[in-house]
Amino acid sequence: MNIKRLLLAIAVAFIVIFVTDFLIHGIWMMPDYRATQQLWRSDPEMNARIGWMFTAQLLWAITFVLLWTRWADTAHLSCAVGYGLLMGLFSGVWAIVMYVVVPMPCEIAAKWFFAGIVQSILVGLVTFYVYKPKPQPVTM
């Protein structure tokens, strides 16, 4: 395992997650959250807990990249897409559970679920390119 590439891949994955979460939740889904504001914490309450959000995003990035390193030496681009898809499906289950336990519109849960899959595929692609193993010299 190449520690430098590992740490770089974790940092890049975290940045991608942070940026895409902002685009998904801070921009695209904001009208949905405003329309159902009685379900969510207020902005000051959310801001007071933002450290927990960053911690969750970092843990997601670490887990994602560490699992990827198990196959990285033999992986191809299609493997990165498939891995991202599977991780997105796996991590997206929480959106379905939240729809069951929180009185929210189905559209919010569906957006969470499908945006999470796209986000995971994107992180898979970025991780593939950042952690991609260096070609081994051919010896004869």
* Higher per-residue confidence, 139 vs 9: 9
**Is a pLDDT exceeding 70 seen at residue 7?**
yes
Give pLDDT tens digits for 19-33. Answer: 999 999 999 999 999
What pLDDT digit, counting tens, does each position of 42-101 carry? 999 999 999 999 999 999 999 999 999 988 878 889 999 999 999 999 999 999 999 999
Q: What is the pLDDT of residue 138?
A: 65
* Predicted local confidence at residue 22, as pLDDT: 97
- HSE (CB half, 13 Å, CA atoms) of 101? 6
Are the beta carbons of 119 and 88 closer than 8 angstroms?
yes
Higher pLDDT, 116 or 73: 116
Residue 133, pLDDT score? 66
End-to-end CA distance of the chain: 25
